Structure 1
Amino acid sequence: MDPVAGRPGGPQEVWATAQLAITYRRQVGRDELPESFVYDSDRLELHFGQGVFGAVTQKMRDYQVSGQNVLDGWLKRRTGPPSRRAISQLDHIRPERWLPAWSEELQYALSVLWHLVELQSAQNELLDRVLMSPLVSVAELQRRNVLPVPDNAQRSAPAPPQTDPIPGTEGFEGREPHAVRPLTVEKSSPADAPTRPRRSRNPSAAQSSRGKRQDP
């Protein structure tokens, strides 16, 4: 968050600063679920059934990550057939119409694509500078006493103190533990208890009694 640099706090403020402004110009029909986009390069519009989103540049429409088109993948995950990795019957339950929340999600995705396209030239320049920079060799790290790693640096980090809660668990650490009653074994009545011969702890006594039973 840096309002001076044009990065205000909060997701809504971030989307408001996106240029070009992505607008939802015409709604997608409630009873339709098109399976492909139609791009109008003259109007800079992305048509999805009856719906129209803009402004969308050609670079935004063609943007890829690891060889996969981002917009096509976004749409396929929502309207296409279930994945080959589907193992549950729930994975085969697919929507039959366009969901209103998807319109807002698509605006967000288009805004992100616009920023990525704008940063592409700067990212390429940074990558070239990194590749052209000298490499740090193992010998140089040894000369600077970075390697070998000392024993005190190989030890695991100490556990965080209890006063610092794990992010996302605020409010849970300070709760009182639930009152859990100890597990008790229900006592059976003497009439229900099976009768078993009691063993003698004296081995000689056990042997003598065993010998007596063998006498005729």
Structure 2
Amino acid sequence: MRLVDPVAGRPGGPQEVWTTAQPAITYRRQVGRDELPESLVYDSDRLEIHFGQGVFGPVTQQMRDYQVSGQNVLDGWLKRRTGPPSRRALSELDRIRPERWLPAWSEELQYVLSVLWHLVELQPAQNELLDRVLMSPLVSVAELQRRNVLPVPDTARRSAPAPLQTDPIPGTEEIEGREPHAVRPLSAERSSPADAPTLPRRSRNTGAAQSSRRKRQDP
């Protein structure tokens, strides 16, 4: 929220950020309902990418080629959704793959392309900032010594002692200060058969014997 500034073109919320992308990424033709394209085709003349019958644009060459840590963003995005199972699959569940293009992917791809457009637009400013950082003077050891940063004091070399069990966890002082209350067990412990009290067994014919006695006593 600290970076939100509608006047500077930074409205709050992902939906608002996406709508401010210029040019707006459009879903020009839908992907076939029964299609599951595993690769994309880039049309540099029309500035479009094709997923089967689906068409998205405009997409510049810089957006198509954008990489992070040597991985092409668009190729990796599509492979994780429609490509074969990963070699790291550990169970049969990992090998279950979609059989057709999901409608939610179309909206997700518009978000991805919008982000790539902004990143490409910021690339010259990022390169300039990096050049300024590299051309700036370095902080020498002598300067750090002059500012008493070096040598590192012994107190900073020693690791902090482990907290004692009696010390409260930071942020839980109020909780730790409460009086403990009795806690009832979830279930009572079951006694072993040997410890169970032995009850006198009642004969099934007890009721019949008592009834016959009453008949004899009746006049």
Give TM-score, length-normalised by structure 1: 0.73
Which amino acid in the other structure matches residue 64 of structure 1?
Q
- Counterparts of residues 46-57 of structure 1 (less than 5 Å): 46-57=49-60
Q: Distance in 2 between matches of 1:149 and 1:36?
A: 58
How far does residue 65 in structure 1 lie from its aligned partner after superposition? Answer: 1.8
Which amino acid in the other structure matches residue 14 of structure 1?
V
- Counterparts of residues 178-193 of structure 1 (less than 5 Å): 181=185, 184-188=188-192
User: For the structure 1 residues 181 and 121, does the alpha-carbon distance in structure 2 shift closer, same or farther, using more than 3 Å as the test?
Assistant: same
Partner of 1:2: 5
User: For the structure 1 residues 3 and 160, does the alpha-carbon distance in structure 2 shift closer, same or farther, using more than 3 Å as the test?
Assistant: farther
Q: Distance in 2 between matches of 1:180 and 1:47?
A: 64
Residue 40 in structure 1 maps to residue 43 in structure 2: yes
Partner of 1:110: 113
Q: Distance in 2 between matches of 1:159 and 1:128?
A: 45
- Counterparts of residues 1-216 of structure 1 (less than 5 Å): 1-147=4-150, 148=152, 151=155, 155=160, 160-162=170-172, 181=185, 184-188=188-192
Which amino acid in the other structure matches residue 54 of structure 1?
G
SS at match of 1:181: coil
Percent identity, aligned pairs only? 78
SS at match of 1:104: helix
User: For the structure 1 residues 20 and 185, does the alpha-carbon distance in structure 2 shift closer, same or farther, using more than 3 Å as the test?
Assistant: same
Q: Distance in 2 between matches of 1:23 and 1:160?
A: 50
How far does residue 185 in structure 1 lie from its aligned partner after superposition? Answer: 2.0
| 1:17-73 Cα deviation digits (max 9, x unpaired) | 111101111111110011111111121111111111111111111112222211111
Q: Which runs of 5+ in 1 are unaligned?
A: 164-178, 194-216
Give TM-score, length-normalised by structure 2: 0.72
SS at match of 1:97: coil
Q: Distance in 1 between matches of 2:98 and 2:184?
A: 44
User: For the structure 1 residues 16 and 182, does the alpha-carbon distance in structure 2 shift closer, same or farther, using more than 3 Å as the test?
Assistant: same
Partner of 2:213: none
Q: Distance in 1 between matches of 2:169 and 2:119?
A: 38
SS at match of 1:47: strand
User: For the structure 1 residues 181 and 116, does the alpha-carbon distance in structure 2 shift closer, same or farther, using more than 3 Å as the test?
Assistant: same
Number of residue pairs matched by the alignment: 180
How far does residue 182 in structure 1 lie from its aligned partner after superposition? Answer: 5.0
| 1:130-168 Cα deviation digits (max 9, x unpaired) | 111111233322321223257379648x965249xxxxx
SS at match of 1:105: helix
User: For the structure 1 residues 118 and 150, does the alpha-carbon distance in structure 2 shift closer, same or farther, using more than 3 Å as the test?
Assistant: farther
129-138 or 116-125, which deviates more: 129-138
How far does residue 4 in structure 1 lie from its aligned partner after superposition? Answer: 2.3
Partner of 1:199: none
Say which one has the larger Rg. Answer: 2
How far does residue 96 in structure 1 lie from its aligned partner after superposition? Answer: 0.8
Which amino acid in the other structure matches residue 191 of structure 2?
K
Q: Distance in 1 between matches of 2:154 and 2:146?
A: 14
SS at match of 2:27: strand
